[in-house]
């Protein structure tokens, strides 16, 4: 036999952090459990994309619920800062990372499946993007949600921001996005960013119930209608995001952004585990 054996793919290296449980009625629960805060690197985005493709290819699966399996109340802290901090990565790596995350998000937004985000705790940046791309979003009372990239000197990804505008209205979304503000659970519900605020002990039960109710609709008609309503937006997104990495790298490689991200990384690394856990529990990763 000739040829060179292929090494593990990025998706394979994150397999241990993402589990899938298909329940009765074709409801799949995808649990992310990459301690301490479900930071999203290339491997995690690639794994989620592979999992979603596999679920979509299974005719017995009709819905998917995304949830956190972390010890603390965090859905996902968003992108791993090491993927964004220019001195620790490369322009080429960042472009690969950027395409991987947006490929998953666009796939999620157009998925034939009923999609639900069960948000326990903090849900900034990339975590918020996963939730926005889902059909339904429910959050726990102590939770928070938002696209807070501006706080780190990074522009809000164009179609992430536009999607928030489609959900809660352009003017309201713009005011929130330009400040990088995180919304607490009740305000998120009032603005329509989430569909319900649910106690933590009822979160998964409620998320699965929402999925089951939606699955009672004629599934082919529901999926076709969903795609018709979203396809122009998704096509524009898919045409744009491969070009966005060049623009984003210009900001990430600037001295000002490097300084802001470097300071954020230093703050996190300088804290002992106990103190860091306490800070994240009180104000979970709201600066990430």
Contact 201, 110 (CB under 8 A): no
Confidence of residue 268 (pLDDT cuts 50, 70, 90): confident
Contact 111, 61 (CB under 8 A): no
% of residues, the chain, pLDDT over 70: 91
% of residues, the chain, pLDDT over 90: 82
Q: What is the pLDDT of residues 208-267, one digit of tens each?
A: 999 999 999 999 999 999 999 999 999 999 999 999 999 999 999 999 889 988 988 888
pLDDT higher at 92 or 275 = 92
What distance lies between CA 63 and its chain's CA centroid?
A: 17
- The whole-number pLDDT of residue 11 equals 73
Whether 1 has a pLDDT exceeding 50, the answer reads no
* Phi/psi at 63 (5° precision): -155, 155
- The whole-number pLDDT of residue 288 equals 43
Q: What is the pLDDT of residues 169-197, one digit of tens each?
A: 999 999 999 999 999 999 999 999 999 99
Using alpha carbons only, give the angle 118, 121, 123 rounded to the nearest 5 degrees. Answer: 75
Confidence of residue 141 (pLDDT cuts 50, 70, 90): very high
- The whole-number pLDDT of residue 21 equals 95
- The whole-number pLDDT of residue 8 equals 65
Whether 272 has a pLDDT exceeding 90, the answer reads no
Which stretch, 3-12, 149-158, 173-182, has highest mean pLDDT?
A: 173-182
The pTM of the whole model exceeds 0.85: yes
| CATH class given for the domain over 14-216+226-282 | alpha beta
List, in order, residues 6 or more apart from 207 with CB less than 8 Å away: 65, 67, 116, 117, 118, 136, 138
- The whole-number pLDDT of residue 9 equals 74
């Amino acid at each position: 036999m000739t040829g060179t054996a292929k090494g593990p793919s990025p998706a394979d290296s994150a397999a241990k952090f993402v589990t899938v449980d298909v329940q009765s009625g074709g409801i799949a629960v995808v649990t992310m459990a990459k301690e301490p805060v479900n930071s999203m690197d290339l491997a995690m985005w690639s794994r989620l994309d592979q999992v979603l493709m596999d679920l979509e290819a299974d005719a017995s699966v009709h819905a998917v619920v995304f949830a956190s399996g972390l010890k603390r109340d965090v859905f996902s802290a968003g992108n791993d800062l090491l993927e964004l901090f220019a001195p620790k990565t490369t322009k080429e790596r960042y472009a690969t990372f950027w395409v991987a995350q947006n490929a998953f998000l666009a796939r999620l937004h157009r998925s034939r499946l009923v999609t639900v985000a069960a948000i326990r705790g903090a849900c900034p940046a990339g975590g918020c993007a996963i939730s926005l791309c889902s059909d339904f979003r429910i959050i726990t009372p102590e939770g928070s949600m938002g696209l807070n990239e501006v706080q780190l000197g990074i522009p809000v990804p164009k179609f992430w921001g536009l999607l928030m505008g489609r959900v809660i209205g352009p003017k309201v979304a713009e005011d929130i996005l330009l400040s990088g503000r995180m919304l607490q659970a009740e305000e998120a519900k009032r603005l329509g960013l989430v569909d319900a605020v649910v106690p933590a002990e009822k979160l998964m039960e409620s998320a699965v119930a929402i999925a089951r109710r939606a699955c009672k609709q004629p599934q082919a008609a529901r999926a076709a209608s969903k795609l018709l309503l979203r396809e122009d937006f998704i096509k524009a997104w898919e045409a744009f995001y491969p070009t966005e990495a060049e623009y984003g790298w210009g900001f990430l490689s600037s001295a000002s952004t490097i300084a802001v991200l470097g300071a954020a990384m230093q703050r996190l690394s300088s804290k002992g585990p106990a103190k860091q856990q306490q800070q994240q529990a009180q104000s979970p990763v709201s600066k990430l």
